[in-house]
Structures are given as structure tokens and as C-alpha cells.
Amino acid sequence: MLRAGATEIPLDRVAVMGILNVTPDSFSDGGLWLDPERAVDHALEMVDRGAGIIDVGGESTRPGADPVPEDEELRRVVPVIERLAREVDVPISIDTRKAEVARHAVESGACIVNDTLGEASDEAIWQVAAETGAALVFMHSRGTPATMRSLTDYSDVVEDVALLLAEKAKAIQEAGIPSDALVLDPGFGFAKTAEQNLMLLHHLDRLVEIGYPILSGTSRKSFIGAVLDLPEGERVEGTAATVAWSVMKGARIVRVHDVGPMTRVVRMTEAILGGR
């Protein structure tokens, strides 16, 4: 069970987190949901198709993306979160690198802070979760979207990521966030080569051993494109393989664009694992 404010999110079955990018430049769906009305309609569709969490983001974190000023990020996400809080009955997450964006998002109805700042993250954004009771997702990354491509030097990507996640988990709890309100994300695609992403995915169970729910965010990522030589819009089957593998290896949340197909992949994989 993941505690997120007054909401308890059951994780006995894998939760499907639907991606809602209200940005003009996200790597796969930039511009599609920038209009608040279209964004809310898309979120409602994702819930109908099986999303158990909606993750709203107003700043692209794709490699090479330009930073977005705080006021612009707030302008993008707050109206959407306010509407969704009234219209959907699933938890809402705010995907951000900024503490004040997280705070306003929680005040507007979000109950999960998806902290994508990575190694540079500190108590500012964690305190928002601690003070409001929101759950926190901590994602591994290095540098900024502008620099992360050059920061892929690991002695052992699996152990290095595991060590950083374990260290941050301890610091996050010391900042006042209880263990049952914390999720860890290995950060597929963030400061990692295609080969490193595949290695990390192969050994995802090593991260599960740290002792917190793992979020796997592989949807349409470039390492899938590198393996299959396909553009973002044609990576559904590749994503499905990574989602099934993630469930088999113990992930409790999968973050995806294609909610309907991936929900079916998750439930079928669970049925196989359960033998029923």
C-alpha cells in the first residue's frame, strides 16, 4: 500500500500510471495535450482504459530539452490538476523538478510528487511531500536535460543506481517522509546509454531488493528505438515487452503513454505469474 495524503493506493496489483504531458516539446507527444480541455479529456480516456494514476508534467525532461520558467510550468499544470481533481477518482501525480510547482500542484489536488531532479534533488522538494503528506517518487538521473547525455560514466550501472537510490531513500525518510509513502524510479533514459538501460532493466529485481516499490518508466524510450530501429510512435510492442519484463521483475508501478494496451499487458503478465 502506498500512502499518499488521505489516499491509500493498493500495490498488490501493479498500478498503471498514465502520462499526461501538458508541454509543447515532450519527446513523444509534445503539443498534443497542451490545451487544458484536451488534456483533461485525454486523462479521462486513460482512466477509462485502466490508468490507476495520472502523472501530469509541464516541463519536458527529454535529453536536450530547454528549462521552463516556474510561472510557465504552473500555468500549464495547475488548471489541469484542478479539473482532474474534480473529475477523476484516481490519484494525481505531479512530475516536476521544482519544489514550488510541487507545492501548488498538491494544493490543487495532486497527492504524489514525482521528483525527477535526480542526483541534484534535495530537501526543498521532499519537504513539500513531508509537509503535505503527499507520496514521493524519487527518480535516478544525473545533470540536466541539456547535460545528461554526457553523464553516462558508471563503474557498474546497476550497482551505482542501486546505491544512489538507497542513499536517497534514507535521506528522504530523514526529511520526514515515511517509508510507506516512498517509491523509487531507476530513471530509464536519463543519463544512461541504450546498453545501460537494457542492463538496468535486465537486473530490475536488484533494485526491488532495496525494499521500496519500484516505478518503471520505459514507455517509448530511445533505447527501445535503438534496439528496434523505430521512431517514438512505433514503439508500442517494444514498450509492451519492457512492461511485461518490469512486472515479472517486481515493479509495482509502470508509467506509460499507451494505457489501454499496457494495462492488458500488465494484467496478462500478472495472470501468468499467478498461474490463474
Q: Is 235 a catalytic residue?
A: no
Question: How would you label 108-119 residue by residue, b for 16+ Cβ within 10 Å and e otherwise?
Answer: bbbbbbbbbbbe
Task: Give me the catalytic one of 62, 220, 221, 235.
Answer: 221
Q: How far is CA 34 from CA 77, 112, 149, 190, in A?
A: 9, 21, 26, 23
Among residues 3, 83, 103, 255, the one annotated as catalytic is 255
262 secondary structure, DSSP code: H
Burial of residue 29 (CB within 10 Å: 0-12, 13-18, 19+) is: middle
* Cα 161 off chain centre by: 16
| 3-state DSSP assignment of residue 229 | coil
Determine the Cα–Cα distance for residues 61 and 67; give it in Å rounded to an integer.
8
- Residue 255 annotated to the active site: yes
Tell me the sheet residues that pair with 20.
Answer: 56
Active site residues: 221, 255
